[in-house]
């Protein structure tokens, strides 16, 4: 829920920078390619581009890699430069209901103070075993719907009104606070598990919605406790470097 790309990362179900979003968009347009097949075509191990997307390693693509990707997709290699590189150019995008830019939230109308927020069908599994196979894969996440919400309403939940997305809860491990089928609002700019709270995270096996808390006193590596609200489910720990936080849950919708 790539939630921009939720990878849900980071692929990071995080907000990815424009070069990474462009790569995922090109793969989405050209399904004969995958991150794995492209990695092998580049002469790298099959996880090279997945690690570039999910873990930010390498942080930037070398010139020869950019050139090779440009040839594969018949586009300018400058599309794959880092956001800070003044030579980077944007990928020409085909019209979509909601474009996945660095910030997925669009200002609808400055006069009426509403924002369009994308909803993603990432199905962040809240239950054990409900890991999402199609999120952190070769294709990115395409918004399935969009919500128009007053900006002033959103400001009650977060200061980052330009970095929001909506996903649907799956599973029962976060009950009674979050029930399967409920929609939750994710602040995609919040990627550090401090303070403790409920986050959407790729935990090394799949995308889950869990409570995260840094293990006090841990270092080298810093460990994160990943737990459910439902006491029927066990907690577990992961190194911070081994997980990818897409964002923090800041609100949910309830209809009665």
Same domain, 121 and 187: yes
Say yes or no: 219 and 159 in one domain: yes
pLDDT at 107: 54
What are the pLDDT digits (tens) for 112-129? Answer: 678 888 887 765 443 333
pLDDT higher than threshold 90 for residue 103: no
Structure token digits, residue 21: 């979003």
Q: What is the pLDDT of residue 13?
A: 39
Could you give the CA distance from residue 188 to residue 140 in angstroms, rounded to a whole number?
A: 16
The pLDDT-based confidence of 142 (bands split at 50, 70, 90) is low
The domain containing residue 29 runs over which residues? 18-80
Mean per-residue pLDDT of the chain: 77
CATH code, domain carrying 74: 1.10.260
- Could you report the per-residue pLDDT of 218-230, keeping only the tens digit for each? 888 899 999 999 9
Instruction: Specify whether 52 is located in the same domain as 132.
Output: no
Give the whole-angstrom CA distance, residue 252 versus residue 192: 20
* pLDDT attached to residue 20: 83
Report the pLDDT value the prediction gives residue 176, as an integer from 0 to 100. Answer: 92
Residues 1-50: tens digit of each pLDDT: 333 344 433 333 344 678 888 888 788 778 788 888 899 999 999 889 98
Do 123 and 229 lie in one domain? The reply is: yes
Answer yes or no: do 122 and 236 share one domain: yes
Both 127 and 206 in one domain: the answer is yes
* 188 is a domain residue: yes
Residue 98 above 50 pLDDT? Answer: no
Cis peptide bond prior to 176, omega within 30° of 0: yes
pTM: 0.55
Nearest-angstrom CA–CA distance, 148 and 107: 10
Q: Are residues 159 and 240 in the same domain?
A: yes
Number of domains in the chain: 2
């Amino acid at each position: 829920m790539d939630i921009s790309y939720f990878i849900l990362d980071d692929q990071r179900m995080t907000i990815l920078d424009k070069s990474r979003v462009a790569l995922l968009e090109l793969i989405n347009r050209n399904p004969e390619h995958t991150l794995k097949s492209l990695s092998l075509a580049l002469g790298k191990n099959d996880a090279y581009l997945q690690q570039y997307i999910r873990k930010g390693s390498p942080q930037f693509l070398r010139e020869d890699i950019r050139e090779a990707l440009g040839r594969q997709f018949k586009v300018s290699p400058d599309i794959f430069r880092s956001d800070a590189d003044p030579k980077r150019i944007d990928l020409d995008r085909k019209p979509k209901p909601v474009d996945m830019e660095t910030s997925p939230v669009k200002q609808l109308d400055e006069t009426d103070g509403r924002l369009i927020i994308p909803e993603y069908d990432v199905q962040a599994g809240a239950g054990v075993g409900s890991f999402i196979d199609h999120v952190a894969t070769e294709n990115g996440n395409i918004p399935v719907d969009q919500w128009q919400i007053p900006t002033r309403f959103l400001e009650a939940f977060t200061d980052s009104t330009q970095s929001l997305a909506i996903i649907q809860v799956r599973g029962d491990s976060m009950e009674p606070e979050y029930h399967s089928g409920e929609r939750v609002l994710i602040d995609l700019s919040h990627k550090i598990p401090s303070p403790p709270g409920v986050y959407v995270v790729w935990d090394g096996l799949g995308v889950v919605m869990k409570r995260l808390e840094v293990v006090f006193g841990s270092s080298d590596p810093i460990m994160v406790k990943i737990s459910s609200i439902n006491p029927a489910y066990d907690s577990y720990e992961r190194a911070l470097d081994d997980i990818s936080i897409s964002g923090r849950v800041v609100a949910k919708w309830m209809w009665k």
